[in-house]
Amino acid sequence: MILLVIGLCLLGVFALRFRKDRRRLSNGSYLLLGLIFTGVWLADSGAQGELPVELLGLLIVLSPLLVLVLSGLFVLNGALMVRREGLRAANLLSMGLGIALLVPYVLLVAAIVTEHPWLVVVFASLVTVISYLSFVFLNFLLYSLFYGRLPYKRGMDAIVVHGSGLIGAGVPPLLASRLDRAIQVYRAEVASGRHPLLITSGGKGSDEAVSEASAMAGYLVDKGVPADSIVQEGRSTTTHENLLYTKELLGARGTSTRMVLVTSNFHILRTAILARGLHLDAEVVGAPTAFYFWPSAMLREFVAILVESKWVNITACIALAALPVIAALASGFHTR
């Protein structure tokens, strides 16, 4: 029963925090932990014997297999990305992670087999850190999927489409998907009697013939959006700048900054977090992305999230890495 109480309390905290502001990554931690505790209680209620012991044994047996499967999926996705998108560092991310996931487990097993006690401690520390990062990634993934399925609140004054790069002066499929999603939102707002601005946001890259904002505006006009409903923000080069310059643009026009941000589905949670940091009254909706592209894109988003909170994550990793060392010293652990 104690597991159920803990689980329900965590889910209650999640509900309160979510109602106050849905754009917090930490909301996902309460949701994930609440589901874990409640799920374990449900399993315990129908189990025979000592469930915690059984679960621990099951996790010990299954964890390497799950890591092996996950590693294999990442490697396959990386190979598919390279084949379809070309040999670039970003496309090798999932393949590199898949390989990196296996290395600490292989080294830990080797240290155990060869009976090198302190190597066991070192690699146990590394595996502990990987476990923490895996939990954070699972939290990010779960809450991204949850957040991405939430309906946005109607009644927006502006619809902001974030750029993602051009091919010369042309709009590539990824960006076209965002623009098509923005058109859906725009038409829904118009049908409800509102007339929001449609803001195209993105500057001109060194390899681009025009600014993203200009190419995006042309795409929207070609799709039937009135030109006088479109405003171009053609300076930004990052998501943070997209948001900051859009806020300045609307402020200069004397327009409310209540907006819906349109980006790709893998990018919605980090966009929402950035918007919250800038105190924007903004919702975020996602456009669909090719399935093969999604895992690598989510990994890049996750890395960006880690970097943005680097000191918190570095501190957590150091503290967790120290636990096996402290346990070894406390137990009078000695090398041969």
CA–CA separation, 104 vs 301, rounded Å? 24
Q: What integer is the mean pLDDT of 108-117?
A: 78
What's the order of all strands across the beta sheet hosting 158-162? 230-233, 197-201, 158-162, 259-264, 282-287
Residue 290 near residue 172 (C-beta atoms within 8 A): no
Q: What is the pLDDT of residue 61?
A: 46
Q: What is the pLDDT of residue 69?
A: 67
Q: Residue 281 CB: number of other CB atoms within 10 A?
A: 12
- Inform me whether the pLDDT recorded for 224 exceeds 50: yes
Q: What is the pLDDT of residue 89?
A: 64
Structure tokens at 52: 């915690």
Q: What is the mean pLDDT of the chain?
A: 82
- Inform me whether the pLDDT recorded for 214 exceeds 50: yes
Tens digits of residue pLDDT in 132-186: 887 888 889 889 989 988 887 787 889 999 988 888 778 888 899 999 999 999 9
Residue 146 near residue 31 (C-beta atoms within 8 A): yes
Q: At 287, which amino acid appears?
A: A
In percent, how much of the chain has pLDDT > 70? 86
CA angle 228, 229, 232 (to 5 degrees): 90
pLDDT confidence of 104, banded at 50, 70, 90?
A: confident
CA 136 to chain CA mean position, Å:
10
Q: At 59, which amino acid appears?
A: L
Angle between helix 93-113 and helix 51-85 axes, rounded to 10 deg: 140
Query: DSSP label at 291?
Result: G
Residue 242 near residue 264 (C-beta atoms within 8 A): no
Tens digits of residue pLDDT in 276-335: 988 888 889 999 887 777 777 888 888 889 998 899 999 999 998 998 888 888 876 655
CA 3 to chain CA mean position, Å:
28
Length of the chain: 336
Tens digits of residue pLDDT in 190-202: 988 888 889 999 8
- Inform me whether the pLDDT recorded for 270 exceeds 90: yes
Q: What is the CA radius of gyration of the chain?
A: 24
Tens digits of residue pLDDT in 49-98: 554 544 444 444 445 555 666 677 777 777 776 776 666 666 666 777 77
Q: What integer is the mean pLDDT of 91-107?
A: 74
CA–CA separation, 33 vs 47, rounded Å? 21
The conformational region for residue 259 under phi > 0 = left, psi -120 to 50 = alpha, else beta, is: beta
CA angle 260, 263, 267 (to 5 degrees): 115
